[in-house]
């Protein structure tokens, strides 16, 4: 339980992120059309990749919990959902900051940004549901069900918004990543990935400890007894 | 998009600051929560 | 078994039909209020009419969905239902179909209100009915599942929309698009694509939610 591995991940992730960001900010050349604004990409895209992994992790944990009923998976899922909220929130902020100088508006109805926002709200709903249920077993089942339903929604939201957007305006997204931009992008991708792993690991510990204390003291069982 | 977007450093700085702050604050909150829970354990 | 569950739900709904009337008045009131947000601009109101119709239906749906487990929870009849030698799935589909019919009825009732308030008439009534039925199905499948969860939680009025609204974004988007194409004209023949999307959404969630409902009510 007291392994130091998550802290190693955090330190390694922070170091990589600092190094990659330094490279991206000061060594890599400014992009041909986007100028310096394009440097946001070096944190934005890695955050997006890690966010998708966090959602996938939460989805996998939800399925694992429903098929094994092992509370370990519940703690892992709780961690995945919360870290997913953190990353999605950052993605929305970075996306808005990128959109303003490039397209002149803070919010552009880009399918990726919109799906992130939708899933951010859905994840917050799952966290709210968890906070309102006192019985750990019911909380685990219900939030696993909600997580599966929300994750399945992600591709549907993405494609419907993409469709909706393309039918009324064509958005050109500069996606040309030439070799000069690879190094900071890759370094930062691993940096954010390691940070995410460290966070999920530590957050799982928090969830597991809380669960142990919850079940040790029979507190909050009055309501559960009423329903059952 | 015809010309190069001039400047824009303030946006870059804002994006990196938000990212860094979010990571640091979340990390601190995790460690605080862990400490708090271990105290009761 | 499914027909028995469905008959029970429909009977319950028929006995509380005054509630249905109240929900309709709520929906019509929200349609009236939306027009104040735009102002007396007939052209704009007509353009946004389908969006308002679906938002009105969505807001009303949280009321009807939240009510759909109310009777059982209040009288503690739910455990009794689960003890019956039946599938939880039959119970779910009975409720979901009943909610679907109710929302379809509500949607059809709101259409004349929309036509009068926003001057958004159409002659393609059959197509409009199909869209309303598919859209209502998209709301009721996850809505019934989440109502089953939130009816057992303290803050149910708050949690149901919080969980449901982000989820049905694709269904809402497709319904609004298809409806507005029906009302404003569809020179490119795009509405078929949106109806297909709605159908796919319904198919996914009607099967997935039925699969998961058994876990929600177990123990």
Q: Per the CB < 8 Å rule, is B19 touching A47?
A: yes
Torsional sign, CA C65, C67, C69, C73: positive
**N- to C-terminal Cα separation, chain A:** 33
> pLDDT category, A103, cuts 50, 70, 90?
confident
Nearest to C217 by CA among C27, C86, C51, C24: C86
- Count of A-C CB contacts under 8 Å: 86
User: Would you write out chain C's pLDDT as a tens digit for each of its 219 residues?
Assistant: 788 888 888 888 887 788 888 999 999 999 999 888 888 888 888 888 999 999 999 999 998 888 888 777 777 677 767 776 667 888 899 999 999 999 999 999 999 999 888 888 788 889 999 999 999 999 999 999 999 999 888 887 889 999 999 999 999 999 999 999 998 887 777 888 899 999 999 999 999 999 999 888 876
Query: Long-range contacts of range C124-128, CB-CB < 8 Å, 24 or more positions apart?
Result: C124/C182, C127/C182, C127/C191, C128/C179, C128/C182
Predicted complex ipTM: 0.87
Mean pLDDT, chain A, whole residue set: 86
Q: Per the CB < 8 Å rule, is B33 touching A86?
A: no
pLDDT of residue A217: 57
The three-point CA angle C153-C154-C157 to 5° equals 90
Give CA–CA dist A60/C68, Å, rounded: 31
* 3-class SS of residue A181: helix
At C38-97, the pLDDT tens digits run 888 888 888 889 999 999 999 999 988 888 887 777 776 777 677 766 678 888 999 999
If you ran DSSP here, which 8-state letter would residue B28 be given?
H
pLDDT at A219 over 70: no
Q: Per the CB < 8 Å rule, is A172 touching B1?
A: yes
| Residues on chain C touching A119 (C-beta within 8 angstroms) | 166
Mutation to test the B interface, candidates A34, A40, A87, A108, most B Cβ within 10 Å: A40
Q: Is A209 on the interface with B (CB under 8 A)?
A: yes
Nearest to A191 by CA among A31, A73, A15, A3: A15
Mutation to test the A interface, candidates B15, B34, B38, most A Cβ within 10 Å: B15
At B1-41, the pLDDT tens digits run 446 666 688 888 999 999 999 999 999 999 999 999 888 87
Q: Tell me the Cα Rg of chain B.
A: 19
The size of chain B, in residues, is: 41
Two tokens, residue A171: 């958005």
Tell me the whole-structure pTM to 2 decimals. 0.87
Return phi, psi of residue A35, to 5°. Answer: 70, -145
Two tokens, residue C44: 């704009």
């Amino acid at each position: 339980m007291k392994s130091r591995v998550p802290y190693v991940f955090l330190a390694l992730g922070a170091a990589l992120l600092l190094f990659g960001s330094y490279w991206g900010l000061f060594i890599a050349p400014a992009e041909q059309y986007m100028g310096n604004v394009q440097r946001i990409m070096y944190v934005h895209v890695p955050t997006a990749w890690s966010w998708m992994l966090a959602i996938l992790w939460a989805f996998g944990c939800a399925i694992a919990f429903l098929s094994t009923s092992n509370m370990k998976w519940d703690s892992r899922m709780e961690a995945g959902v919360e870290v997913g909220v953190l990353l999605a929130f950052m993605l929305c902020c970075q996306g808005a900051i990128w959109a303003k100088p490039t397209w002149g508006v803070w919010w552009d109805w880009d399918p990726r940004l919109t799906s992130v926002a939708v899933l951010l709200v859905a994840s917050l709903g799952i966290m709210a549901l968890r906070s309102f249920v006192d019985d750990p077993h019911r909380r685990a089942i219900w939030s696993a069900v909600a997580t599966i339903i929300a994750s399945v929604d992600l591709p549907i939201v993405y494609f419907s918004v993409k469709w909706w957007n393309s039918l009324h305006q064509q958005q050109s997204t500069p996606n040309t990543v030439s070799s000069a931009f690879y190094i900071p992008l890759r370094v930062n991708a691993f940096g954010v990935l390691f940070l995410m792993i460290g966070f999920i690991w530590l957050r799982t510990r928090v969830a597991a400890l809380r669960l142990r204390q919850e079940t040790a003291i029979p507190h909050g069982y009055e309501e559960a007894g009423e329903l059952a | 998009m015809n010309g190069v977007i001039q400047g824009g450093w303030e946006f870059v700085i804002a994006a990196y600051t938000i990212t860094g702050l979010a990571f640091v604050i979340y990390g601190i909150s995790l460690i605080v929560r862990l400490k708090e829970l271990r105290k009761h354990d | 078994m499914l027909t028995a569950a469905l008959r029970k739900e429909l009977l319950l709904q028929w006995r509380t039909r005054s509630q249905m009337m109240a929900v309709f008045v709520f929906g019509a009131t929200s349609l009236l209020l939306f027009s104040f947000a735009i102002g007396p601009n007939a052209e704009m109101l007509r353009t946004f009419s389908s969006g308002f119709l679906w938002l009105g239906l969505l807001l009303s749906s949280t009321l009807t969905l939240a009510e759909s487990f109310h009777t059982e929870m209040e009288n503690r009849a739910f455990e009794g239902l689960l003890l019956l030698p039946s599938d939880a799935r039959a119970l779910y589909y009975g409720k979901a179909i009943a909610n679907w019919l109710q929302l379809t009825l509500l949607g059809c009732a709101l259409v004349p209100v929309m036509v009068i308030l926003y001057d958004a008439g159409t002659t393609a009534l059959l197509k409009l009915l199909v869209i309303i039925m598919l859209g209502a199905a998209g709301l009721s499948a996850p809505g019934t599942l989440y109502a089953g969860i939130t009816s057992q939680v303290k803050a149910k009025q708050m949690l149901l929309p919080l969980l449901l609204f982000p989820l049905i974004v694709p269904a809402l988007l497709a319904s609004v698009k298809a409806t507005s194409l029906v009302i404003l004209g569809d020179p490119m023949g795009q509405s078929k694509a949106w109806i297909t999307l709605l159908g796919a959404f319904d198919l996914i969630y009607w099967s997935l939610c039925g699969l998961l409902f058994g876990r929600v009510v177990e123990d």
